[in-house]
Amino acid sequence: MEVWKELIPPISLIASLATLSLLFLPSFVASSASYLLLLSGVRHSLFGQQIVTIFPDRGLVIIVVDWRCSGAVSVLAYGSLFVFTIFPLRGDELLKWVWLVGLCAYFLLWNVLRVWMATWAGFLYGSSFFWALHALAFPFLELCLFVTMWALAARSVSHVA
């Protein structure tokens, strides 16, 4: 019963971040990715949460940045896994919180880069390259990065105790 009392604050944080992600992140990710596209020379327009650009094989393409690719799913899924597996370990509570906040910030930044890189690749090489990155390569890379961060967090938390 004592373990559940310790998990309530981090679970609340994850739920709050996921709710805020659903409300505000799509616009933030779209505008941030749009800025990076501008810096990388990709001709595009931004309309709210929609990035409009031209792919060589499709012509005009509208990429909608909604809750599915804004980071909300990553923060909720990976944050929950992290909370239920790292917080029950014996170790420094502050270090656990630092890792949790760092993980959430990392996945928010990662999703901005993910939208930018996939759109940039689609602009240069076409829609099949966009989908190969967006639907196959990036989710696999995201999982590998989470496992790496999780292992580093578990090691650092358990070595401090």
Task: Dump pLDDT digits (tens) for 87-102.
Answer: 888 888 888 888 888 8
CB 46 within 8 A of CB 119: no
Domain membership of residue 87 as a residue range:
2-160
User: Distance between terminal CA atoms of the chain?
Assistant: 21
Give pLDDT, residue 42: 92
CB 150 within 8 A of CB 85: yes
Helix, strand, coil tally for the chain in percent (to 5): 75, 10, 15
Q: How many CA atoms lie within 13 A of 19 on its CB side?
A: 6
Q: How many CA atoms lie within 13 A of 85 on its CB side?
A: 16
Give pLDDT, residue 33: 93
CB 47 within 8 A of CB 116: no
Give pLDDT, residue 38: 94
Q: Rounded to two decimals, what is the model's pTM?
A: 0.82
Q: Cα separation of 34 and 28, whole Å?
A: 10
Give pLDDT, residue 15: 72
Region of 41 please: left (phi>0), alpha (psi -120 to 50) or beta.
Answer: left
- Residues in the chain predicted with pLDDT less than 70, given as ranges, are 1-7, 17-18, 20-22, 70, 160-161
Q: How many independent structural domains does the chain possess?
A: 1
SS3 103: helix
Query: Which residues lie across from 46 on neighbouring strands?
Result: 51
